[in-house]
Amino acid sequence: LMEAEIRIKVQKPENFCNALKPENREGRVTDDVKVENDSVVITLKAKDLPALKAALNSYISWIEMGRKFGGEK
């Protein structure tokens, strides 16, 4: 398996985490979204590189949207 982790510091990590949790999926990629201190930690595990890349791109887009519309800087 291939694995990637994204850590992002945000002002309200619980809110950010709750917004991302509905995106959890299973299949070629499994993910875990949790709060650690003042950060949201997203761990992705994929069976292959294209699946990992697609999941990373999706989460990066969702993070950017959350920062833009959620009042994060």
Look at residue 40 in the predicted model and tell me its pLDDT.
94
Q: Tell me the C-alpha distance between 63 and 29, whole Å.
A: 18
Cβ density class 5-25: b for 16+ within 10 Å, e for less: ebebebeebebbbebbeeeee
Q: Give tens-digit pLDDT for 2-42.
A: 999 999 998 889 988 888 876 666 688 999 999 999 999 99
Look at residue 69 in the predicted model and tell me its pLDDT.
78
Residue in 72, 35, 40 with CA at minimum distance from that of residue 59: 40
Report pTM: 0.85
Helices marked H in 1-73? 13-20, 49-69
Look at residue 72 in the predicted model and tell me its pLDDT.
64
Q: Look-up: residue for tokens 């917004």?
A: 19
